[in-house]
Structure 1
Amino acid sequence: MPSSTPTGFRVAVIGGGFAGIAAARELHRRGYAVTVFESGDSPGGTWRVNRFPGVEVDTPAVMYSYSFAPGEWSREFPGGAELHAYLGQVAREAGLLPLFRYGHRVTRLHWDESAAEWSVTVRDVATGDEETERFRAVVSAVGLLNVPRHPQWPGRSTYTGEIFHTAEWPSGLDLTGRRVAVVGTGSTAAQVVAELAGVASQLTVFQRQPGWVDPKVGRVYDDADRARLRHPVHRRIARWRLFLALERRWLGGRIIRPGSDVDTSLVDACRSYLDEVFAEHPELKAQLTPTSAYLGKRAVHSSTFYPALLREDVTLVPRAVVGMHEKGLIDASGEEHVAEVVVTATGFRAAEFLGGIEVVGRGGTVLADKWGDDPMAFLGITVDEMPNLFLLYGPNTNWYAPVFGMEKQALFVGRTLDELRRRGARSVEVKASYVVALNRWLKRRLDASSFAQTPNYFRSPSGRVVTQWPDGASVYWLLTRLLWKRSARFR
């Protein structure tokens, strides 16, 4: 059992969401002196920030939760507030809350070779004051979807209404009876549209390109359901049953091969759902039918989005927004649309890992320059020339079981730092050959995948897929278990 006695070996964890809590818990129980820098006022990460109407997870809670903290869920797909509360409870029960420094954003990391330490610059969100502290190791757990993508449309400065991103939803906003435009038709937009339909007097939805949608019903749990999931054996069975069902789709990359049996069956199911909902609306059905493979862009799981588009007070515009005017938006055909409120569900800058943090590693290597448009790491966790720096949910680690992945990544970090101390070494760094070999394999697999078919958040400006993992979660787990020590160079 890892020691929980503090050692004085200081580790900074950046971010207090799912990844940050996983890392802080693993390192705290191994005895490291952990400080969690969180820019917000509580643990929760994306589930603290995102408070838009209808926000909920797309993965069943039995899997979208830590293996060591079952949670008490009201339904199969919990809402954002419930997930936020869950993360706060986990952090409290693990004794992590005293480790948090709220309202502090890390802006710079600089490796001091002589001291074998990271100089960490932190800004007070409220005052703007900066201070610098020193840590033996740093774990970045800033997440994948943390920097909103704000469209810079011509004419935006002339618009007289309200405009905001879904991740910046104003507190107490009432849209009853107002003319609202939602830009985007991805997962977030689908949830927002379903909630605002019937609330806004007129809801206009702008679609740049359609994506596949499959129905998501989800159970509301009763006392018997919760009691069953509270039982360790029953919960473990439910978790593994779901894991194995999804793993069969992903193992060997079957689900991401255009035209594979898995891809075809999922596309056929989505087509059947389109046929069912839009049987009497062939034009709308045609506008909503993609031409890509199932995962050409992130699939939307919703049973309420399509029905919302059938309402008389909801209009789908199957064209991108290209500009704004005083009273609203201009689409790609040049048509002007009036909207008192514009909601941009335009996603995040997911391909820009560690965005907003300047990182200077060994020999003065600037991480942003090293990466350019194509972030690369070994199993998404370590980067050569960046000693004692670890990433959770880093490049190419996004798949159907992100929390499972974060736990394995946290274990990788804990084992590596324990080995560093056991050897009496000052630093640990991944061997460059391992980074090159893994990313050569990733590129080969991903260039032929559905992810590379269409514009999406998976890809960097160069077109390389930098967010997604191309195989089963079991393959990733096995690689982290086998290679954590072999890939490392201790000095």
Structure 2
Amino acid sequence: MTTAEQRLSGPIHKERPMRIICIGAGASGLCFAYKLQRSFNNFSLTVYEKNAEVSGTWYENKYPGCACDVPSHNYTWSFEPKYDWTGVYAKAGEIYKYFNDFSKKYNLDQYTKTNHKAVGAQWDEKTAKWNVQIEDVLTGRIIEDSCDILVNAGGILNAWRWPAIPGLKNYKGKLLHSANWDDTVDLTGQNVGLIGNGSSGIQILPAIQNIVGQLTTFIREPTWISPPFGMDQHVYTKDEIEEFIRKPEVLSGVRKANESGLNSMFGLYLKNTQIQNDMKINMQTQMKQKLKDNFLEQKLIPTWGVGCRRLTPGINYLESLHKDNVKVVYGEIESITEKGCKCDDGNEYPVDVLICATGFDTSFRPRFPLIGPGNVNLQDAWAKEPKSYLGVAAPGFPNYFIFLGPNCPIGNGPVLSAIETQADYMLTLVD
């Protein structure tokens, strides 16, 4: 182990070889690799990615209607604009391509090992390094690696979960999850059930409503359905795209206007502020106008304040709820039967296909045992209340950095802005 005296005996700014392991090659991992590559040359980096390709959540999520809920021109790196987005809110496949192309353009694939998943890490007091266990998901073989700095870029949208409803395994129809979509399933004319009214559910419902035969949506809690974060959806014309290319200042103006609007929303998250109270009244009015049904209004419009959760823009979601082939079942699903869902209203609702838009494990606990000094497991330390420094570091876990950690400001706009800022901060510590 290098002592403080040994370090001080040489030049203060002398570079030493740095071994870094990054877990995850989604947006965070790719940004870290890019910035590390541009800033340093005396390093060794491996980015372990559990999927077969990079791009993270945009590689995994392929459900109908999956799209960005902030303006596309602001869902890019500040240093890597994309002039030819097809619309204001890009579809998932287009966003996936953006990150995939970004990785290839800057040769980030040289650092990436796909189909490799972190399964454990331990801090070694003697060597001041992290010992990391990596599983080759294709063979099951465990690989031992070590590093000076361990970066967790896995995010919180990487561990999708089935609903904790009794009898789920008894269902005999086709069972789907929004984060593990089966493209071979044809929903045309089918009797479909949809569990969940979170971010995925409110995109799926209007996307499939006009092709299914019958759609029963099971909703347990109300939620605020907001207008789009920015301008309305719009498909860019060829002339508009060419203007963005010819006149970068025009695109810059669009991006700055969007960013200004998104970052003006912080007041929504402060209880009883004027902007929060005004927005609550405005959203109540908008939701009533779109629902046009007293029962739905009573059940689906929250009484709690706007901003208690991240707002969920739902283009055509509320309007779809009163279509002739859509039935809203409000309450608890008591059990899943062979045929469908049995609810607390005493009825059983048979469906041919059951879609679980039930999200992810969004706790900040690492997905693998992470053992720090004193044999403390971060999974246990963060079991009740995660505590971090600026959302990038965990107390008592040296040289371990986290992207999008606890209290990271990701609810007010594009998450990529936060990722860039955190990457820059981490690199000051690497330096």
TM-score if structure 2 supplies the norm length?
0.90
The residue number in structure 1 matching 2:239 is 224
Offset at 1:118?
1.1
The letter of the residue matching 2:284 is R
Offset at 1:195?
1.3
Deviations 1:226-284 (A, max 9, x none): 2343444333332222222222221xxx21123322212222222222232233x3223
The residue number in structure 1 matching 2:275 is 262
The letter of the residue matching 1:13 is C
Query: What pairs up with 1:205-354 in 2 under 5 angstroms?
Result: 205-216=217-228, 217-230=232-245, 231-250=247-266, 254-279=267-292, 281-354=293-366
1:142 and 2:154 are equivalent in the alignment: yes
Structure 1: 5+ residue stretches without partners: 1-5, 419-491
Aligned length: 408
**Contact residue 7 and residue 33 of structure 1 kept, 8 A:** no
Cα separation, 2, equivalents of 1:322 and 1:66: 45
Cα separation, 1, equivalents of 2:333 and 2:256: 43
Of 11, 34, 39, 2:20 maps to 11
Cα separation, 1, equivalents of 2:279 and 2:239: 32
Query: Which has the higher mean CA deviation after the structures are superposed, 346-355 or 195-204?
Result: 346-355
Query: What pairs up with 1:151-170 in 2 under 5 angstroms?
Result: 151-170=163-182
**Contact residue 365 and residue 379 of structure 2 kept, 8 A:** no
272 and 20 in structure 1: CA distance in 2 versus 1, 3 angstrom threshold:
same
1:61 and 2:77 are equivalent in the alignment: no
**Contact residue 364 and residue 382 of structure 2 kept, 8 A:** no
The residue number in structure 2 matching 1:415 is 428
215 and 370 in structure 1: CA distance in 2 versus 1, 3 angstrom threshold:
closer
The residue number in structure 2 matching 1:457 is none
Cα separation, 2, equivalents of 1:248 and 1:195: 30
Cα separation, 1, equivalents of 2:271 and 2:239: 41
303 and 171 in structure 1: CA distance in 2 versus 1, 3 angstrom threshold:
closer
Of 199, 206, 210, 1:187 maps to 199
Of 415, 421, 431, 1:402 maps to 415
Of 386, 408, 421, 1:375 maps to 386
Query: Which has the higher mean CA deviation after the structures are superposed, 258-267 or 52-61?
Result: 258-267
Offset at 1:100?
0.8
Offset at 1:392?
0.7
The residue number in structure 2 matching 1:88 is 100
Of 141, 160, 184, 1:172 maps to 184
1:34 and 2:50 are equivalent in the alignment: no
Deviations 1:291-345 (A, max 9, x none): 1111233322122111211211110111122211121111222321111211111
Deviations 1:42-100 (A, max 9, x none): 11100000000010010111221100110231111111100000001111112201111
Offset at 1:7?
6.8
TM-score if structure 1 supplies the norm length?
0.80
The residue number in structure 2 matching 1:437 is none
Q: Alignment RMSD, CA only?
A: 1.7
Greater RCO (Cα-Cα under 8 Å, separation 6 or more): 2
Deviations 1:413-444 (A, max 9, x none): 111011xxxxxxxxxxxxxxxxxxxxxxxxxx
The residue number in structure 1 matching 2:5 is none
Query: Which has the higher mean CA deviation after the structures are superposed, 71-80 or 214-223?
Result: 214-223
Cα separation, 2, equivalents of 1:123 and 1:210: 41
**Contact residue 186 and residue 298 of structure 1 kept, 8 A:** no
**Contact residue 365 and residue 378 of structure 2 kept, 8 A:** no
The letter of the residue matching 1:20 is G
Cα separation, 1, equivalents of 2:371 and 2:242: 50
The residue number in structure 1 matching 2:9 is none
Deviations 1:10-69 (A, max 9, x none): 211111111111111111222232211111121110000000001001011122110011
342 and 288 in structure 1: CA distance in 2 versus 1, 3 angstrom threshold:
same
Offset at 1:8?
4.1
Cα separation, 1, equivalents of 2:286 and 2:327: 20
Cα separation, 2, equivalents of 1:54 and 1:45: 18
Cα separation, 2, equivalents of 1:312 and 1:288: 19
**Contact residue 214 and residue 269 of structure 1 kept, 8 A:** no
